[in-house]
Structure 1
């Protein structure tokens, strides 16, 4: 007798997450309705803006950031709902109790100054981390890679940031004037821009990657897996503590005394410096997992995915560079055919590991219909391409492109560092980054310069936003 198909309703995590999530969602909805009734104009402006912000985050996470694996909508919705409901409730309750204990143990002044940096990271990260664990348990067949834990953790963080930002915005609407929509929008925009990328999605993505690593990497020793989990959880709490700490505010006040400096330069320098190791680790994890999935699909269907194409398909930048090369050498029509082939290859890799109607996608009776469909599509797209366009480039993505590119990279890097301290210079850094990409720089120094230029431009935009809202 055949085994019944897998279903999330047969897992205890489904009922735990559903029951606790339903109760917490009712509480969060009730609080939001109460705040919206007290400030209807502010709510009418802030709520749609917050939803657009969350939709942008989700589109980025499920699209360019995660091009290989396809995430089930119900699992993404569960992660988002947990972050916007249960995690917020756990963080608020735990933070309140811990803050009282800190005030009694050390003093009210210390708790008021350092409480957000000590209490909030642990209370909130525990609530969000528990949601990541339940989501991974509920969707076990869909959790193939360590990057899956990072992505679902980021979705939980998006839900948490959505609920928290809305509550802060609606509370700020009644601070000075009753139902002040301008104050609500200003608060919401500021919380979206600062810390921006270095916020709750990154915190929970780091912890989620550690949870998935400890669970999935059975080829490593238990001590190693638990060490990675402890390092990831500690890193998430540390980044959260730095964002909330008086150190970042003190750095802002210190650099604000320098003539011509950016208003948010000190804050962004501190919080970004703490986040760089986590960002680097997550980037390497995403690329390694994508290569592993694509290599498995290439072994399953060598006619659709060649081994030499795996490194190109695994990275967003490498795919775009390959597409531009084909467009430049063979024309727009051939480039569209290459894009069709890449899309079919990525969908094939995703379908080859995703359960089909509760069963494994491949087995003794042949591949699932979705696997076969994308396999045929990839083979047809390859046949429609000219032989020269289908071949990968001879130079890899890490090969430098000459002295001129190195000179532009060094200049861009120097201008970007200066742009972190002086907003007008960030425009020069951004122009240098554009010139660098125009020359198709591929070295490590080129990548570093582009990242620094983007950071400088982001600092300038954050400064303009702060000055426009509160200047």
Structure 2
């Protein structure tokens, strides 16, 4: 195990640091985030309080999103990239484009009040959801192997949305001023913290669906439909506030229904992955990569956790970490087979991805297998 780089193998990249493109995007996003925060700090007297209030619910929200990702965890660098894109590039460009649209187009055409309303209901949803979705489309081009199903799209979409919502909330808390700060926090930080993640998750599902579709226009339509759903719900949410309490309540209930639907999709996708494990891994028993008890263990999150706890108690964190790598590599292997069966991976690419996974699984097994044997 010491000679291997499990993180690189599981992420499907060469050993060592993340790719240069990932580093560049993270750096650019971080710079955009710094510029956005600097501009926001000059907008009102409650920047420090707004920063604290925006960050306060973030650990809980991140934990909720990442809890959906336990069966096949996404690479940390990709999650960080998605979050920072939403918090940096998407927010900064949205500020510029929304302001330009209001100042140069809608206000001159319709007047200040009507122009602001049109910007909020039509312009901002289209601009913001498109900007958030760009990083997801980028993953479709450059890291398509990470998009193995709708859960992955929901995870990445939620990370982008959380980044965007966090920085947007800092802006609203800052301009609210001391008198309205508490009410603004209740409205945005407690009552509706998931609006942006919900919207960008719809785009994420479309992108993940496209990643599993054949080449051509069959990949474009899911992305466009997902983006359309995100824009429509965002527009409904922004427009409901100007209509009245009943409209806001109706859109809120719709959001709860969308959230329930996303959770149902995650549950169904988890069952699909479990079925793939049961279908594709048993043939590897002959090579000693998988044993008969492994399949039920790999097919259940509680069974995976119990196995790691047992290994940790008997051998410490090293073998437990090896077992965790084995579990994830086995899941990646099953999904790789599924992609190959659907014609999304040619034979050379399949072998190039499969061999490191098998090497990692065999090396990990040497570390934890003696600790999982039943006592005599």
Deviations along 1:378-437, whole A, 9 cap, x unmatched? 755654499xxxxxxxxxxxxxxxxxxxxxxxxxxxxxxxxxxxxxxxxxxxxxxxxxxx
The superposition leaves residues 211-258 of structure 1 with CA deviations (integer Å, 9 ceiling, x where unpaired) of 13213333xx74443332222111111121121113x6646258xxxx
Which residue in 2 is equivalent to 1:368? 359
Q: Residue 235 of structure 2 corresponds to which residue in structure 1?
A: 241
Map 1:11-90 → 2, pairs under 5 A:
13-14=21-22, 17-18=25-26, 20-35=28-43, 39=45, 42-62=46-66, 64-90=67-93
Write the distance in 2 (CA, Å) between the matches of 1:377 and 1:28. 48
Q: Give distance in 2, aligned partners of 1:214 and 1:349.
A: 26
Residue 175 of structure 2 aligns with which residue? 171
Q: Distance in 2 between matches of 1:169 and 1:366?
A: 47
With CA pairs under 8 Å and 6+ residues apart, which has the higher RCO, 1 or 2? 2
TM-score normalised according to structure 2 size:
0.71
Change (3 A) 1:298 1:382: farther
Secondary structure of 1:245 counterpart: helix
8 Å CA contact 1:166–1:188 kept in 2: the answer is no
Q: 2:291 aligns to what?
A: 303
How far is the alpha carbon of 1:98 from its aligned partner?
A: 3.2
Q: Does 1:118 align with 2:122?
A: yes
Unaligned 5+ residue runs, structure 2?
Answer: 1-12, 314-318, 337-350
Q: Is the 2:101–2:123 contact (alpha carbons within 8 Å) kept by the matching residues of 1?
A: yes
Number of aligned residue pairs: give it: 337
State the distance in 1 between where 2:310 and 2:143 align.
35
CA contact (8 A) 1:210 1:233 kept: yes
Residue 211, structure 1, aligned to residue 207, structure 2: yes
Call closer, same or farther: CA 1:68–1:312 in 2, change over 3 Å: closer
Given the alignment, which residue of 312, 325, 350 partners 2:328? 350
Q: Distance in 1 between matches of 2:78 and 2:156?
A: 8
Deviation at 1:54, TM superposition (A): 1.8
Bigger-Rg structure (1/2): 1
* Structure 1 residue 281: Cα displacement: 4.0
Change (3 A) 1:217 1:134: same
| Residue in structure 2 matching 1:252, options 238, 245, 263 | 245
> Residue 56 of structure 2 aligns to a residue in which SS?
helix
User: Which digits, 9 at most, give the CA deviation of each residue in 1:284-307, with x for residues without a partner?
Assistant: 345434643675455544416555
Deviation of 1:127 (Å): 0.8
Confirm or deny that 1:5 pairs with 2:2. Answer: no
Give yes or no for contact 1:80–1:155 (8 Å, CA) kept in 2. yes
What is the match of residue 328 of structure 1? none
- Rate the CA distance shift 1:231–1:88 in 2: closer, same or farther, 3 A: same
Greater share of helix: 2
Deviation at 1:84, TM superposition (A): 0.6
1:269 aligns with one of 227, 242, 253: 253
Contact 1:206-1:282 within 8 A present in 2 as well: no
Match of 2:344 in 1: none
Provide the secondary structure at the position in 2 that maps to 1:68: coil
TM-score (norm 1): 0.59
- Give, in angstroms, the shift of residue 204 of structure 1: 1.2
Pairwise CA distance, 1:94: 2.2
Q: Does the 8 A contact of 2:199 with 2:231 survive in 1?
A: yes
**Do the aligned partners of residues 291 and 376 (structure 1) sit closer, same or farther apart at CA in structure 2, a change above 3 Å counting?**
farther
